Amino acid sequence: MSFLRRKFYSYYLNPHIEFPQRFDRREYAFILFNEDTMHRHLSFSSRNDILSYLKMNIPAHAYYSSAYYRHPSAEKMMDKEWMGADLIFDLDADHLPNAGNLSYEESLKEVKEELKKLLSFLTEDFGFGERDIKLYFSGGRGYHCHVCNEKVLELGSQERREIVDYITARGLDMKKVIGEKNLPAEKFSGKFSIKTIKINPMQGGWQGRIARAIIDFFKRIKNMRREDAIKELVKIEGIGEKTAMAIYDALTDERMRRIEVGLLDQSTEFRKIAKPLVRRLAVSLHSEADEPVTADIKRLIRLPGSLHGKTGLRVTGIDRRRIDDFDPLTDAVVFGENPVKVNVLKKMEITMMENHFKIEKGEARLPEYLAVFLVARGFAEVRPP
């Protein structure tokens, strides 16, 4: 038995599995060590059966279906008889625009920011309660968010795609979001009307989100030193130094007061600012094929409490109020500190279990948790004893 498989076995002797709701209506799938194929169309009628499967087969990856089926073990999708599905959001570092340049730890931090954005959409806009939403570290390079709510169960993929489009701002109509209006001329400005954009921070939905973001943005700019503010403004696409200076210099106290109640003048500049703000507010959630996985009503997701074969980390639930404190490289670690002799293939630095490691190539004695992580990721080997 290989080192990794042996370690997984020791975990699966007494694992902390979190069984999905209505676990007997789900399809299960596993990938075993040294195999490429997936063992699919399995179903279990008791929790103990799942536990014994894990103990007997020691899978490298364990999944269950987000869908409920009448016959979860039927081979053909048609025969399974779909009964509904949880709403699943898969936030993966691979979906980030700058994924390639980040270390494992950095990319997980970035994904966490996306997770927080997602959570704010789900609770504020969609109104899901604490009991509906479950958050998990995926064991790999991301986070999963499961929404289990009676009302969303039966939604089809087209409807789910609308939800994805909402939180990713796809199809957002900017004209509608920042309505432009010609206001009647004010007394002192003579007979000309002023083009004004009226935004309402108190509104719900995207309108309100963008309004609040625009107001916060100008407040921040106003409080900056002139050169810093201009630096910040030119970062925005379509704004040159001249426009940036003009915007900053025009931010008088009087204008700030107007902005804070949602009256924006000088429409074009503000429009330029609104667009990039939308990108910052929206969740990055698209997979490589640009097809949102959430809309898939038959997908497989990792079983909470199982181990991820490419990291040795556990798919771990996260307390919503403690997202910031969650550290995957501590909180999802299941193995101990016994030293293990490994052959390191790649020089690297990593912080795990709050210990910082500087690892050189070649032979080393490392704590078991780190050895498992490196071997699973292919950065080290263990010779058979």
Q: Is 228 a catalytic residue?
A: no
Return the residue of 23, 53, 63, 206 that touches other proteins, per CB under 8 A: 206
Interaction with other proteins in 94-133: which residues (CB under 8 A)? Answer: 124-128
Active site residue 324: no
Instruction: In angstroms, give the least distance from the CB of 367 to other proteins.
Output: 45
**Catalytically annotated residue among 90, 165, 173, 296:** 90
Contact call for residue 205 and other proteins (CB under 8 A): yes
Task: Decide if residue 81 touches other proteins (CB under 8 A).
Answer: no
**Which residues 296-315 are close enough to bind other proteins by CB under 8 A?**
297
Q: What is the DSSP string of 120-136?
A: HIIIIIS---TTTEEEE
Q: At what angle do helices 368-377 and 3-12 cross, to 10 degrees?
A: 120
378 binds other proteins (CB under 8 A): no
Does 68 bind other proteins (CB under 8 A)? Our answer is no
Contact between 322 and other proteins by CB under 8 A: the answer reads no
Report the residue from 14, 130, 131, 173 that binds other proteins according to the rule CB under 8 A: 173
CA 241 to mean position of chain CA atoms: 35
> 54: burial class by Cβ within 10 Å (0-12, 13-18, 19+)?
buried
Tokens of 87: 């709403």
Nearest to other proteins of 79, 291 (CB atom): 291
Please report how close the Cβ of residue 161 comes to other proteins at its closest, in angstroms.
7
Given 92, 132, 173, 327, which residue is catalytic? 92
For the chain, what is the radius of gyration of the CA atoms? 26
DSSP secondary structure, 312-358, as one string: --B-EEE-GGGTTT--HHHHT------EEEEEE-S-EEEEETTEEEE
Structure-token match 């009647």, residue found = 184
Of 14, 45, 101, 158, the residue at the interface with other proteins (CB under 8 A) is: 158
**Minimum distance between the CB of residue 291 and other proteins, rounded to whole angstroms?**
6
For residues 6 and 213, give the distance between their C-alpha atoms in angstroms, rounded to a whole number: 51
Residue 11 binds other proteins, judged by CB under 8 A = no
What is the C-alpha separation between 219 and 385, in angstroms, rounded?
Answer: 64
Q: Is 165 in the site for other proteins (CB under 8 A)?
A: yes
Q: Contacts with other proteins in 263-292 (CB under 8 A)?
A: 290-291
- Name the residue among 329, 249, 307 with its Cα closest to residue 10: 307
CA distance linking residue 114 with residue 97, whole number of Å: 12
Residues 292 and 286: beta-carbon distance below 8 Å:
yes
Residue 165 is among the residues annotated as catalytic for this protein = no
Catalytic residue among 36, 173, 253, 290: 290
Total residues at interface with other proteins (CB under 8 A): 34
Residues with catalytic roles: 90, 92, 290
Residue numbers at the binding site for other proteins (CB under 8 A): 124-128, 151-152, 155-159, 161-163, 165-166, 169-173, 176-177, 203-208, 290-291, 295, 297
